[in-house]
Structure 1
């Protein structure tokens, strides 16, 4: 166990040092941790598995993180159980970045551009802090905590502005210090655990003042080689650009695929930096999938040094490469058109953005032949059975699926016998006596979903960042930011285009602005299409549906005055480097770094489900915290029809702002097992069915947001006509 406590503050160079940080200066802290691992499968991948990944071999299990979740020590330990803390490792912060900028035995790695001079070197161990920057009583091996400078904190206020890398800009794996000892594995930081390259950006989820960054390296590393795949079209008749799909373990995508496009006289090319093949390793493989109407005429793989060994097979369009260290192997695939036999028409369909079924009609002479083609995957062409027709002229037409709430299809290209034919239908072709024809129709799906983000602040102004991610497709995320100019005025977030989104579930994460000396920002409410949505640590979960394909979500933050921040107090670190992670407290001790973590639950009921016009009804809202930690900065927002007249609002603790709509209530902290009860008395309007919504937010982590919202329904029943009396 640790012997005692002492106060440690932030040194001038940025590392946590020897005196307490000034309470007047807001603090943004980052803990950098480095680990070495026996092999690439011992490292879990980042959320997006693609060819941006810069490791020399593919990584192990899929990411443990969901969209919008910040990097944290417990999941890092669970995902990398065989990895060892790495002290004396350097990190570099920068203002921008360049991809594949440093080439060496380690491959080609990204680096930061315009670096800061902040010294970041991991230690034997450093105190383990929670998201508020307070010590947990645990320590973290192979790590160091620094405080950001004012410029760095300002850049971290929004995404994609403050960048970091492992190593130094010209030596990303510290090869000069540790010659041939380490190879790059993975890097992730704060909420940027997305792509697998050697640069990530730092931002802070709403309510956080401390985040984690982890870098992983393989020891001993393989030496890199290079595989270049070239696509050549050798056919003067092929004037249209054609896409060719390849599969093989050289690609790190989930489907192990990549696509190259080429036309006659203009080739396509992809470069892969991969590990040299050692004894017992599987060779690197590539195979081309032939598009309908094409054939492979030649395949060669040439080693620049003559030390790599490659096997090729034109019949299967496959190549196998045993890559030598430092060598470059160039594999060239040469294709030409393969016209169908005489009196044959071959139709194929390629869809982009989605899959569907399409009806095709071929008219000529006195007959019309019909075919239906269904695509199975976007970007993969599917051919219909060949049609046997007499020589002559024909017209090809198609029936696209009807537009739905999800979106609509449009024809983007028609290519017949290698020639672009525009997008007008029907398209005319002539079947000659000597050979047939092949036509490919490409359709693009225009999704109808959209997310619009608004930003409103109360008590101050600031710049906020947003990251939007589709839950079931981690191949893309969208970044936006918004700067308020006046309190109470809503502004629109700008950045990546979030229109044309597929229907489905999405996560939106707000990142906090530069901290202020006189207060802190907390989310007061999030309202999407007029309905409140619950949030936890700046994260909301939303869905684009056929009923609501477009969402307009406004995040409202309130500047709350904060008491003077206590000095950051850390336990002393033992002089002997710890042998395991963590040195004490077990693996579960790392969970303290993600505290506070709460589970708020809200219920709402109305005293009577049916009321008469003018009748008083009582709404009861109960917010409880199911733990395990205290929920900080709890706020609730209640939205009902404007026709409803509120008579009174009472809350068991905290305060409510009833002077504006929506009604908001605030509780600074709600301990586990405690609850808050809000009672509102309203007068039923003259008519209608009233749905009243409520949602709660907290600056604490909220793994379960499904129970952060509730509603109650009140139906108004007008009294019937008075009975007539006769006598």
Structure 2
């Protein structure tokens, strides 16, 4: 029976002594996963498709990750379902990265090596973002094949908790393919990076997470590599950037550009898989697109280094059936379109605008107030005048002052050509800015000129950082959403005084603020340490804000002609862990408590759910002190006390939060706040119930002896009296000594974290 109110005299239980130290938080961990695929098309691409990608052939489906998405087993399995686990693949980590070279199999590698001892195993437990096991049906821990989970070593931990990126590569810095000729690089994706498809990726730990994934994809059998270089050679005095398209480019739609200038050829190099003899891969092809102001593109001139590749042409389209280990160089030569006699032309790049001109000759000045380009890179003719007298000429233009369609920026003249020859020009700042070009016309000639201008946008993003409860180093990535998630800047902010704002350096400048311009800012905060973790409390870019995701620590910001500069303010707070403990005090006296006593713990974070049992003969038990990374609600009930029959049990309980103690009624819901120590103590006092003795019977008077000899009628000796039997009153009591122990919850309580997910995310 239970007695919850009145105190009784019975077993005396000494005060319980709490555990002295909280359990350590989960260590920083990375699960490295390797997958092997039969085809490059089996592999999902990274977030940005571009020519940074280092696979020898293009990949398959587009990424399903948002720009701020975090790599997860579910997304990887769904994105690349045909790939298989790969055991024995080695990874390396380092402090920095360097670009590809023939010596590294044309794969990027890490620098400042931390370790190269990470090798995938047959399987490893599947963990959630807090490093706790993911449970499947029936509570069975799940595993992930072809993977290994490792704790960060001291150097990696110092970097991650210091707000610095830990870089990962497949293989080692000197051998990115692990001396395995039977595999080729496919893709690498880690944590919240997964941006470009090269052999290096960044490990950071999103808010409150202590565990992330890295996925590496191989292809077998790999094609032998080859190289194709496209060279741009221009004739005349004009420079320009020339558009191409073809399957050789991994950019969306296969588009790419090559710039060329007089006397300075431009080029782009592609390391690609050999196609000669392939039954599945077509030849590599590329076509130069027409460019206004230039004659139609002509057939390229191509040279094969080993003479084995097969090159075919169809106009400006080149197809290269690439031989193994060959290097094919194709040169496209461009000639400007001849200007008509005595024609004046204008071209602008980067934007369009109106350029009022004044042409001053030997005798007169002519004004052209409405010289307006309509398409970047496309020249327009604004004047024709034959029979101009010989002599010195100057052309002065005002730069556009209407930035309503471009956003703010700077216009400048970049080239001036008359009669096929470059002429001198000068840019002069001011309001408006101007440029002047000069030319001397020989007698009997007409002057034909082209004036070229370029727009340099001046949109900018300034990031400001305030930290509360601590200081730290925070890295940022700024991506251009309209330009295939191109990384435009990587500012860093380091605070030195809590509550004092600092500006991240460098600012992101030279950004387009044309209508529709949007940028994503990703924040990488220091990884959790033994005391707590960083959270993003707030982030705003004022009127430029499009959206804020505090959990993913990202902001989407818009720039526009009217709002071309954004000041973005991030406020981060160092959040100490919470701690949680439940204690059960009872008696070890097995006469009073022959059974086990039990508390049931039920929390909104069900990783803390379970039963706390005090075995028979044990005086007390506790859950230990568990660290929590989120506020949660809980309740504690007492399904059984273990008391013997006819033993009264008095239960008292109290709840302590942040040092404040209050009575607690079993079954009530309470809040265990983040950052505070929360403890529930439940005490049982047990007392054996003393039986109530029955009433003493009234003696029956002996019969009166008849008058006579006075002897008993029975003939027995007379004892002189007869008394009732005495009841023995049994009272059980005494002092018992309670013990105390530290054990984990039977339900598998974890030390830090939220509810485990069944899909590993």
The TM-score, its normalising length taken from structure 1, stands at: 0.67
The correspondence for 1:170, drawn from 167, 170, 174, is: 174
Is the Cα contact below 8 Å between 1:231 and 1:262 reproduced in 2? Answer: yes
Q: What's the CA shift for 1:436?
A: 5.9
Distance change (3 Å), C-alpha of 1:279 and 1:358: farther
CA–CA separation in structure 1 for the residues paired with 2:465 and 2:383: 54
Deviations along 1:295-334, one digit per CA (max 9) or x if unpaired, are 4677310111111111235xx4332211111111111223
Q: What's the CA shift for 1:382?
A: 1.0
CA–CA separation in structure 2 for the residues paired with 1:359 and 1:234: 27
Partner of 2:601: none
| Unaligned runs of at least 5 residues, structure 2 | 1-21, 136-141, 428-433, 583-605, 608-627, 633-656, 659-670, 676-752, 756-761
Is the Cα contact below 8 Å between 1:158 and 1:203 reproduced in 2? Answer: no
CA–CA separation in structure 2 for the residues paired with 1:534 and 1:280: 44
Partner of 1:508: 521
Is the Cα contact below 8 Å between 1:520 and 1:562 reproduced in 2? Answer: no
The correspondence for 1:446, drawn from 453, 457, 460, is: 457
CA–CA separation in structure 2 for the residues paired with 1:57 and 1:509: 30
Distance change (3 Å), C-alpha of 1:305 and 1:512: same
Distance change (3 Å), C-alpha of 1:366 and 1:527: closer
Is the Cα contact below 8 Å between 2:40 and 2:186 reproduced in 1? Answer: yes
The correspondence for 1:122, drawn from 108, 113, 120, is: 120
Does residue 63 of structure 2 align to residue 63 of structure 1? yes
CA RMSD between the two structures: 3.8
What are the equivalent positions in structure 2 for 1:377-456 lying under 5 Å apart?
A: 381-384=377-380, 388-392=384-388, 395=395, 397=397, 400=400, 402-404=402-404, 406-416=407-417, 417=420, 419=422, 421-423=425-427, 424-425=434-435, 427-428=437-438, 437-456=448-467
Distance change (3 Å), C-alpha of 1:206 and 1:468: farther
Partner of 1:684: none
Distance change (3 Å), C-alpha of 1:160 and 1:226: farther
Q: What's the CA shift for 1:555?
A: 1.3
Distance change (3 Å), C-alpha of 1:385 and 1:493: closer
Distance change (3 Å), C-alpha of 1:259 and 1:87: same
Distance change (3 Å), C-alpha of 1:631 and 1:133: closer
Distance change (3 Å), C-alpha of 1:293 and 1:445: same
Query: Which one has the largest radius of gyration?
Result: 2
Is the Cα contact below 8 Å between 1:26 and 1:516 reproduced in 2? Answer: no
Partner of 1:555: 571
Q: What's the CA shift for 1:170?
A: 2.5
Q: What count of residue pairs does the alignment treat as equivalent?
A: 544
Partner of 2:317: 318
Residues 401-410 or 23-32, more deviating:
401-410
Deviations along 1:387-419, one digit per CA (max 9) or x if unpaired, are 543142574636625134942342242332452
Distance change (3 Å), C-alpha of 1:290 and 1:509: closer
Distance change (3 Å), C-alpha of 1:130 and 1:39: same
Q: What's the CA shift for 1:123?
A: 1.6
| Unaligned runs of at least 5 residues, structure 1 | 1-21, 567-594, 597-629, 635-653, 656-664, 670-698, 702-727
Partner of 1:536: 551
CA–CA separation in structure 2 for the residues paired with 1:102 and 1:457: 48
Residues 411-420 or 552-561, more deviating:
411-420
Is the Cα contact below 8 Å between 1:157 and 1:511 reproduced in 2? Answer: no
Deviations along 1:623-660, one digit per CA (max 9) or x if unpaired, are xxxxxxx99469xxxxxxxxxxxxxxxxxxx99xxxxx
Partner of 2:130: 132
Distance change (3 Å), C-alpha of 1:215 and 1:477: farther
Residue 207 of structure 2 aligns to a residue in which SS?
A: coil
Q: What's the CA shift for 1:526?
A: 3.6
Is the Cα contact below 8 Å between 1:159 and 1:479 reproduced in 2? Answer: no
Residue 563 of structure 1 aligns to a residue in which SS?
A: strand
Deviations along 1:246-281, one digit per CA (max 9) or x if unpaired, are 332222222533333333433222211011112453
Distance change (3 Å), C-alpha of 1:231 and 1:141: same
The correspondence for 1:518, drawn from 512, 519, 531, is: 531
Does residue 331 of structure 2 align to residue 332 of structure 1? yes
Q: What's the CA shift for 1:220?
A: 1.9
The correspondence for 1:109, drawn from 88, 107, 113, is: 107
Is the Cα contact below 8 Å between 2:542 and 2:568 reproduced in 1? Answer: yes
Partner of 1:304: 305
Residue 200 of structure 1 aligns to a residue in which SS?
A: strand
Distance change (3 Å), C-alpha of 1:69 and 1:508: same
CA–CA separation in structure 2 for the residues paired with 1:565 and 1:667: 13
CA–CA separation in structure 1 for the residues paired with 2:581 and 2:359: 79
Partner of 1:144: 148
Distance change (3 Å), C-alpha of 1:565 and 1:435: farther
Q: What's the CA shift for 1:29?
A: 0.6
CA–CA separation in structure 1 for the residues paired with 2:88 and 2:78: 23
CA–CA separation in structure 2 for the residues paired with 1:542 and 1:263: 36
Deviations along 1:442-471, one digit per CA (max 9) or x if unpaired, are 22142434232213221x332232333344
